[in-house]
Amino acid sequence: MTSPLEAVLCDVARFAKEVRVFLVGGAVRDLLAGRESRDFDLLVLSDGTTGFPSRLGTLPGWRTLAAHDRFGTATFSVPSGLRVDAALARKESYPAPGALPVIVAGVSVEEDLARRDFTVHAMAMEVDGGGGLGPVVDPFGGQDDLAGHRLRLLHARSLTDDPTRAFRAVRYECRLGFREMEPEFSEALSMSRKSGAWDLISGDRLRNALEETLAEDEWREACTRLDSLGILTLVVKGWETPPGPVSSGTPGLEARWRALLAPLSPGMKAGVAGRLNFSRRLRRESGTAP
């Protein structure tokens, strides 16, 4: 039986003579670790047409969920039901701590990998014309870190440029069973705090990062880890309490929000809801409505 990844690669291979496409990021990490991926990322070397990634939506059974030809990105649902994200190779620079990046397309695979968050995500494998994969492109030692169960940031300013990477680090640490992050992570976290990046980043981005954490199977462990690393108090000063108890069974997102916020005082709950720009519905269902 064809696996979801094999099906995606066979579909993408139809474009192999036209443009170079790579499997990249978490999908390569999971493939090397013998794990199933939840979704797939594709990297497209620029052919001078920023709209190319959206053309993947013409493949049989592929449904376009979003396409931004201006930025050379697109997201698809594939017949297996999983999601595929495709993007042109690019460089990113951050004009200020916590700001959205400025993107320059038309770069090499290695230059694109240098913009990523962790070494274990800075690996790529080219899709060939038969739907197979070429050797691993690994300029930053991701394979060694994966074998050593290390989650290593690519550069010291990583969390200053994008503080939401701190949430990603904890999510992957818990999901992959990486029990100890590099010592430099604490230094990078301290640098991000001193830079003011946490105050500059939008509440929506912080809320989305927390909701991605709450969606994990290991969400309680991840939230406790966020607390122990002092990340919650960077979101809202004084937020230093791990999740409270929840009812039996696997709770939905709203119930997980309630558990995360239950130990807090009414004033602190209101502070979190305000900083993270809760909707009226989320305020009501998370127990933060006045």
**230 and 117 in a common domain:** no
What confidence tens digit (pLDDT) does each residue in 216-225 have?
A: 999 999 999 9
Could you tell me if residue 11 is inside a domain?
A: yes
**Tens of pLDDT, residues 251-285:** 688 889 998 999 999 999 999 999 999 999 999 88
| Rounded average pLDDT over 89-98 | 77
Does residue 143 sit in the same domain as residue 182? no
10 and 141 share one domain? yes
The average pLDDT across 86-104 equals 78
Please say which residue of 147, 167, 197 terminates a domain. Answer: 147
B/e letters for 180-212, b = 16+ CB within 10 Å, e = fewer, are: ebbeebeebbebbbebebbeebeeebbbebbee
217-247: burial string, b at 16+ Cβ within 10 Å, e else = ebbbbbbbbbbebebbbbbbeebebbbeebe
- Judgement on whether residues 56 and 190 belong to the same structural domain of the protein: no
pLDDT at 286: 84
Tell me, yes or no, whether 175 lies in a domain: yes
Give the integer Cα–Cα distance in Å for 276 and 249. 27
Q: Which residues touch 144 (CB under 8 Å, ≥6 apart)?
A: none
> What does the pLDDT read at residue 47?
58
CATH number at residue 172: 1.10.3090.10
- The pLDDT score that the predictor gives to residue 252 is 85
Which of the listed residues 98, 121, 147 is the one where a domain comes to its end? 147
Per the structure, the complete domain to which residue 214 belongs is given by 158-286
**Which of the listed residues 118, 147, 176 is the one where a domain comes to its end?**
147
